[in-house]
Chains A and B, each alone.
Chain A
Amino acid sequence: MFVAEKNALSEEIESYVNKYGNDRSALLMILHEIQNKHRHISEFAQQEVARLLNIHPVEVYSVISFFAFLNSNPKGRNLVRICQTISCDMKGKSGLVKAIERELGIKIGETTKDNKFTVEYANCLGLCDMGPAMAINDQVFLQLTPEKAVELLGKVK
């Protein structure tokens, strides 16, 4: 990371701290902002957050490792999350997974070479009556078939 990049990131985090306060309870909001903008929270960013909130870097890392929607390492531009809980499983989740894996040429948890997609499992998307469910970025798609899922991926830029 270049010094200029670091300074820019520090300034950005400082602005979040100004917005949400420097109490440790502001941590999650700040992390969400960084995650939304950079799609990951880098090692440097985590230490900057820790420094500005006067907590230890390992505490920040601990929180990030706990939440599935926060990540330390960069992921693809689009996040595909397939519900892995029992209702969706019974409605044919495995067919969905196979089709997506074949289409993108990667396994669950991996990122495509062109950095376009990362595919992961998610625990319950909360729409068990409409399974199998899958989320692409912030949008949830329901009652999918393998064909439909592949078609949806094709529409993503």
Chain B
Amino acid sequence: MESKKTLRAPVSQKPLVIEKPENPEYIGGSVSIEINEKKFSVPLGTTILEACRQNQIHIPTLCHHEDLCVAGVCRICVVEVEGMRTLQASCAFPITAPIKIKTTSNAVRRSRKHIIDLLLSEHYGECYSCFRNNNCELQSLAKEYGVDHYSFGHIQNPRYEVDNSSYSVVRDMDKCILCKRCVRTCIDLQEVGVLEAIGRGHDTHIGTFWDKPLAEVICINCGQCINRCPTGALRANDPRDEIWSAIDNPKKHVVIQTAPSPRAAICEEFGMEPGTSLTGEMNTALRRIGFDVVFDTNFTADLTIFEEGTELIQRLYNALVKKEQVALPQFTSCSPGWVKYLEHFYPEYVDNLSSAKSPQQMFGALIKTFYAKRKGIDPKDIVSVAVMPCSAKKFECNRPEMVDSGFKDVDYGLTTRELAQMIKEAGIYLPEMPKSHFDDPFGEASGAGLIFGATGGVMEAALRTVVEFITGKKIENIFANADITPVRGFEGIKYAELPISDVGPVPKLIAHLVPDWNWLKGATLKIAVVHGTANAKKVMDDIKAGGKFSECHFIEFMACPGGCIGGGGQPIPTTPEIRKLRAKAIYDEDKSLPVRKSHENRHVVEIYNEFLTDGPCGHISHKLLHTHYIKRGKYIA
């Protein structure tokens, strides 16, 4: 992560930070080393692994991950350092003196192969029946080092039961190789703390508190552990079979909505470079698979902006004009991982969460009411599927309160990976598909809805609308091309202030809620954008202590690092580099769209005229598009 130094990891696991002199030219600023008898100069404190990678020397890794702190437990990255008795783990060896390194010697090759053999001896299962087949780091290492038989044997019977208690994450510990990436993800990167190594020696396994099923402990379902698992030990709870049978059933009307992030990442599952949007191709493929209609979740993202924006205006009006006790700052509620995190760790703040549902659940409620009525289909025959970059969305659609349409609003949450698998099963090569559009009546969405996928996106989308509503001026006058750059980027916590100097007339849609904007004249809108629950913890602790963030009006929180594009349902692997490319794909597509503001989406305006007739945050929308939260607390019963 960006803020590696501040991770709460035990000292032994923290990356060794050596103060680097400003200029490597200074004496002691850089060290000359020899790798495989070639001379290099590297900055002081660089690890051997980094030094090799900078100089195009390949070193295999398994427990190392760019998002996580150093562990040095798998030993696959060992190298020979001259003068040292044993081989050294290159990921955990900072260079502080001139050394000579060998990365290809017989001892290194043989040790690496032995290590792989030892890992395989405890790794139960067969590759061809594993969902990570062809995308498994252990498998590719075995191939890389030419493992042709199990020299230390191979485990014949499963040792653990598969834990599929959770709606989101399935744990199959027989495939675990104890690299502890999931542990470091859960404890350091996300600060949730569900997983740890339990037991000692041969009995060590990765487990939860008292080895309880995952559904009973305080897992927020973010799925970041899935994205970092090098093997098939962690996977999402897969609803493909149910969806296929719904598709094959002619009586069922199968509707699919697609979130913005999967379309920016699904290309990776088909061997393409990260950062190519396949929106049109995906629509065609979904229809060929057999989905009856394909909708764009961005439409309800636009709707979310209306509902959440109106709610914010109402809260501010009640606090500033009516002087009522109102929960501020308002938190976004689009990320189900974040929502569950708050319910567990800061239950006293659930009132700050926007009561607006996430775009997925809004769409679910609309499909089984508005759309069903319009098309004359019985809602019980509709099967509503949502393609999401997220494993927590699977939990969200199974929340007992998400039945406002009278039925289960969204039947299945499908991840990007699972959708790619379905497309492959149908014999379709996605990149070759012709392009097609989304279906009406929710046909086109705005760029504002699209950028929900990246961190800062919800905030940017909200600002594009709220600022125009309040000032009556085009956002382009304030930010060039309507790109609100202060809220973009991958910094863990972003903070911005927006002074409101002029106000305009109140738009018709919300005229019944506020008489005028004069009470906002001269005010400064304070906002923050946070991604990753470890960063969320910092901000929440600051709010609790009455710090800078407690004075904010609106804060966007996303559970996953990078926002939805780095979600737990996205293609594996994920790295800071890949997340950047996915975000770029989304922002580029936003730039190319004709409509880039939620309030300019004609379908949204239509639905307020036709169906949600009492306007944003009105009675009907409160029934269908808003929800409530549970104060769960941290105690594990």
Contacts and interface: CB of A to CB of B under 8 A. Distances in A.
A61 B200 contact: no
Interface string B112-124: 0000000000000
A62 B200 CA distance: 9
A57 B209 contact: yes
Interface stretch (B187-195, B243-251, B314-322, B585-593): B187-195
A66 B199 contact: yes
A56 B219 CA distance: 12
A59 interface: yes
B200 A65 contact: yes
A84 interface: no
Interface string B432-466: 00000000000000000000000000000000000
A24 B194 contact: no
Interface in A7-63: 24, 43, 46-47, 51, 55-59, 61-62
A58 B196 contact: yes
Contact of A61 (B209, B634, B635): B209
Given A47-B636, A56-B193, A61 B198 contact: yes
A104 B476 CA distance: 84
Given A43-B210, A58-B195, 10 more contacts: A43-B636, A46-B209, A56-B187, A58-B207, A58-B208, A59-B196, A61-B210, A66-B199, A66-B200, A72-B210
A55 B193 CA distance: 8
A98 B198 CA distance: 31
Contacts of A47: 209, 634-636
B515 interface: no
B10 interface: yes
Interface in B508-549: none
B636 to A, nearest CB: 6
B197 interface: yes
Interface string B596-637: 000000000000000000000000000000000000001110
A129 B636 CA distance: 47
Nearest to A68: B200
Give me the 6 closest cross-chain CB pairs, A-B, nearest first.
A56-B193, A62-B196, A58-B196, A58-B209, A65-B198, A57-B209
B89 to A, nearest CB: 22
19 contacts: A43-B210, A43-B636, A46-B209, A47-B209, A47-B636, A55-B193, A56-B187, A58-B193, A58-B195, A58-B196, A58-B207, A59-B196, A61-B196, A61-B198, A61-B210, A62-B196, A65-B200, A66-B199, A66-B200
Contacts of A24: 10
Contacts, number: 42
Q: Which size bracket describes the interface of A in this complex?
A: 10 to 19
Interface of B: 10, 187, 192-200, 207-210, 217, 634-636
Contacts of B200: 65-66
A58 to B, nearest CB: 4
A65 B208 contact: no
Contacts of B217: 58
Contacts of B192: 56
B158 to A, nearest CB: 21
B635 A58 contact: no
Given A43-B210, A65-B200, A58 B194 contact: yes
- The residue among A24, A46, A58 with the most chain B CB atoms within 10 A of its own CB is A58
B193 A57 contact: yes
Nearest to A24: B10
Contacts of A51: 634
A56 B345 CA distance: 11
Nearest to B194: A58
Nearest to A66: B200
- The residue among B192, B207, B210, B635 with the most chain A CB atoms within 10 A of its own CB is B210
A59 B187 contact: yes
A56 B191 CA distance: 9
A43 B211 CA distance: 11
